Amino acid sequence: MLLLALILAGLTGQDAPFAKAEVYAPPVVQPYTPPSSFGLQIAEGDADGAVRRRPIAAPVAVEAYRDNYEARRSTRELTYEQGVDRALIAADARMGPLDGRWRVSDARGDTLLDLELFDTGADRPVQGAWTRTTRRGAREMGTVTSVARDGAAVVIEAAVDGRTLRLRLEATEAGWTGHLGDAPSADHDRPVSRDRSVSMKRPGAVAS
């Protein structure tokens, strides 16, 4: 007993090895909780009662169907769905202009890079990744190393083939336009590619 008391006394004198737990905060949209009658409802079409319809003698168009395909939703279900929609709209409104998928193309329309950027607002850093297809058909990918705002322009850098490519773009009505080239490097033996004019647009808006 004496040995056990000494061990307990030593443990209580030690610092707590874990950080203080954060206070639980409920989500913006509460998970849907089914009502107490869940699973007890009578399935549609199985309710008691005489249901008499004319025999179907010919195909019936969908537009001629005048009943409801689904049961009417309860007020609780509608309130939950409205809360989800409002939370989604609010989350989209907080995102910055660079958020989403982009395709970088040269003046001929050839795809150079595909970018996936995560922009949560002007006061937070932009993260992202790039992918591309080589001439041999291989798929390559990597991370975007930095995204900086320089006045009206945006500078995006990504490590590709052992070098750092730099995109300097300005916003237009159709997306972004600018130049793609090598970022300054201390390795003077490595050839520097010539800047080329490029555009960055949403994948579905590339073809004009």
CATH code at position 142: 2.40.128
CB 128 within 8 A of CB 148: no
Asked if the structure places residue 192 within a domain, the reply is yes
Flag whether 85 is in a domain. no
CB 106 within 8 A of CB 112: yes
pLDDT tens sequence across 45-77: 555 555 556 677 888 777 776 665 566 778 888
- The pLDDT assigned to 18 comes to 45
The verdict on residue 25 lying in a domain is no
What tokens does 27 get? 């989500």
Backbone φ and ψ of 133, nearest 5°: -110, 125
Over residues 15-27, the pLDDT tens digits come to 444 445 667 777 6
β-bridge partners, 140: 132
Of the listed ranges 2-11, 37-46, 188-197, the one predicted with least confidence: 2-11
How confident is residue 196, by pLDDT bands cut at 50, 70 and 90?
Answer: confident
Side chain identity, residue 206: V
Residue 77 inside a domain? The answer is no
Tell me which of 118 and 67 has the higher pLDDT: 118
Copy the structure tokens of residue 83: 């809360």
Note whether residue 207 is domain-resident. no
Whether pLDDT at 182 is above 60: yes
Residues of the domain holding 135 = 100-201
User: What is the average pLDDT value for the chain, to the nearest integer?
Assistant: 75
pLDDT of 37 reads 78
Residue 73 inside a domain? The answer is no
pLDDT at 10: 54
Q: Is residue 131 part of a domain?
A: yes
| Residue 141 domain-assigned (yes or no) | yes
Number of domains in the chain: 1
